[in-house]
Copies of this chain bind each other. A is one copy, B any other.
């Protein structure tokens, strides 16, 4: 298992980690297989979406905030229930195909660490399965 550190800068933020993941794939000489990119936190998640226009990430976060507001009628006393809920809506991991040592992503796809309760130092775990 490999690990990447991500230092987030805001309470809610999508951090593009694509080039760091590709760097690790190249460095480890992973050739053909499936890479699981896993978030070990319960107030952050993984997603894949458009990276070219930063407005897309902004719209995703704004929409999630509208659906699950920070302040609401929650029972969990830590003030971050919205972060936990957004995490389950987004999902704890993404699986990316690797061929000839390259992440197989669509033209506009980037891999994002979705911070929902930052800023914090975070980890992303990566598991390689050759195939």
Contacts and interface: CB of A to CB of B under 8 A. Distances in A.
Interface in A71-94: 72-78, 81, 84-85, 87-94
B88 A59 contact: no
A1 B76 contact: no
Interface in A43-99: 47-50, 53, 55-56, 58-60, 62-64, 67-68, 72-78, 81, 84-85, 87-97, 99
A125 B73 CA distance: 35
B49 A77 contact: no
A104 B36 CA distance: 13
Contacts of A99: 1
User: Number of copies of this chain in the oligomer?
Assistant: 3
Interface residues of A, number: 59
A68 B73 CA distance: 16
Interface of A: 1, 33-34, 36, 38-42, 47-50, 53, 55-56, 58-60, 62-64, 67-68, 72-78, 81, 84-85, 87-97, 99, 104-109, 123, 125, 127-131
The 9 A-B residue pairs whose C-beta atoms are closest, nearest first, are A40-B106, A129-B131, A55-B76, A55-B75, A42-B50, A59-B81, A97-B127, A48-B92, A63-B85
